[in-house]
Amino acid sequence: MDDQRQQEDWASDRSNRLPSFTEVLSRRTRPPVDLFMFYLFLQREGAEDILDFWLDVQQHENLCRAYFKDVRKSGRTIKEDWPQYWDYARRRGSIYGTVVGLNPDGMHTKRSTASTGELLSEQDKRNLAATDEKAAGRSTSPRLTPGISEHTHIASTSPNNDRPTTPFSLSGRTPTLFNLKRASRAPTVIPRSSAITRQDLIASAERIYFRYLSPAGNTVNSQENHEIYLPPSLRIHSFPLSSSAEPKSQSEMAIMAQIPDMFHAQKEYCFRAMEQDAFPRFLRAKAFGNLTPISALVRLILGLVILWIGLATAFSLVFLDVQPKSKRFFLFIPFTFAVLFLVSHQYELDPILVFLGQSETTPFRTLRIKEPYVKKLLLGRAIWVSVLVAAFVTALTLIFWAVPGHRL
């Protein structure tokens, strides 16, 4: 009940504005500006790996958070269970400050991220933390083994009850735009059969490193490598630990203490990169239009072909002096389709789909528009496009009706 009330409060808060990037990532938005649609948008641009990385690191941090909570529930302190991490977090700061008991007053210790800067407002952090807590709370205990996440699927969070739920998967590349089934590397619910161990944390970090940060030549399976770009100051050049062997030396224990916070600065950099580059283009594409690029291109081609047929027919009626003249009014049929397709391509918006409450996910596949403010924006633009189409069609039809016939 509280979750439903919270969702309603969030929805009412967005009734007169577009959603923020944090709201999209925390799965609080609805189609066509939800996380599922954002992933498809990045997939079309071949840039989905950066979102995969962000989600996988988010899952890694959830796993670490669940481990710390398990330790505290067992009656032990983090200082007793993992003294190396406690010392590291006390000296350097940690994003898990409150969870591990470093900040009993509830104030979060800020980890040093001078290279990336502060990316989220306090309200955004609380919102994302609440979402993470909910996901970690539903997971009742993981013992992850290497590779389990790459075979786990998460359902699309698009609240579309009118059609079967499409698996929202975030893994290997897909052969076509029409194939949406992809193995997730960032499940929102962690399958647990026993308590989390530190080896599970190492295994999680190891998968992230070799999948996104290791050069392709250093990876055993090159198909699993999706190296992302990071500035030199944020690159991690090696991962000396192994999930198959427990750390024993002092240097290995010191490195292991960095595992929970290892990718946080890189995650923040990716957040900022997506927020400043891809996300504004995503909003322009989905909040002000409802067509995919391929669908818009098909409409351009059809529009030009039908316009040529319409003009050829119109000139034939004029130069053959076909009577009665009223027959020329039927030219509005090809002109309507031609102008509709051409204007739809120009605005990347099909007014008929908007009036039906639909937006394209992949070419010629649609889902229902459910985000209130986006629905309002698209409806306004659809009315404007309809007026433009009506004006052009009327002008063309009247011009060819008014021209006197002249048989050649």
- Quickly list H helices, 151-275: 198-208, 250-256, 264-273
The arithmetic mean of pLDDT across residues 59-79, rounded, is 89
Confidence of residue 321 (pLDDT cuts 50, 70, 90): confident
Confidence of residue 142 (pLDDT cuts 50, 70, 90): very low
Dist. CA 39–CA 37, nearest whole Å: 5
Dist. CA 54–CA 226, nearest whole Å: 13
Find the radius of gyration of the CA atoms of the chain: 28
Which is higher by pLDDT, 214 or 141?
214
Tokens 């009993």 correspond to what residue?
104
Residues linked to residue 360 through DSSP beta bridges, in sequence order: 366
Provide the sign of the torsion angle of the four alpha carbons 125, 130, 135, 137, taken in this order.
Answer: positive
Reported as half-sphere exposure (CB side, CA atoms, 13 A), residue 266 has a value of 30
Give phi and psi for 155, each to the nearest 5.
Answer: -75, 150
In the three-class reduction of DSSP (H, G, I as helix; E, B as strand; rest coil), residue 369 is classed as coil
Which is higher by pLDDT, 242 or 168?
242
- pLDDT at position 146 is 34
Tokens 């319409």 correspond to what residue?
310
pTM of the model: 0.75
Dist. CA 112–CA 234, nearest whole Å: 13
DSSP single-letter state for residue 365:
E
The DSSP code sequence of 274-290 is IIIIIHHHHHHHHHS--
Confidence of residue 56 (pLDDT cuts 50, 70, 90): very high
In the three-class reduction of DSSP (H, G, I as helix; E, B as strand; rest coil), residue 332 is classed as helix
Biggest CA-to-CA distance, the chain: 100
- Is-contact 212 266, C-beta < 8 A? no
| Among 168, 208, 266, CA closest to 59 | 208
- pLDDT at position 273 is 94
Dist. CA 80–CA 72, nearest whole Å: 10
- Is-contact 46 367, C-beta < 8 A? no
Dist. CA 263–CA 60, nearest whole Å: 9
- Is-contact 344 351, C-beta < 8 A? yes
pLDDT for 3-45, tens place per residue?
555 555 555 566 789 999 999 999 999 999 999 999 999 999 9
pLDDT at 115 over 90: no
Cβ neighbours, 10 Å, residue 116:
20
Non-local (6+) Cβ contacts of 393 within 8 A are: 332, 335, 336, 339
Q: Tokens for 160? A: 């579309």
The answer to whether the bond into 142 is cis (omega within 30° of 0) is no
- End-to-end CA distance of the chain: give it in Å, rounded: 77
**CA angle, 194 as apex, 189 and 199 as ends, to 5°?**
90
Cβ neighbours, 10 Å, residue 144:
23
pLDDT at 109 over 80: no
pLDDT for 296-311, tens place per residue?
999 999 999 999 999 9
- Is-contact 111 6, C-beta < 8 A? no
The bridge status of strand 154-155 relative to strand 167-168 is antiparallel
pLDDT averaged over every residue in the chain:
78
DSSP single-letter state for residue 330:
G
74-83, 135-144, 368-377: lowest mean pLDDT where?
135-144
Dist. CA 151–CA 184, nearest whole Å: 6
- Residues counted in the chain: 408
The arithmetic mean of pLDDT across residues 116-137, rounded, is 47
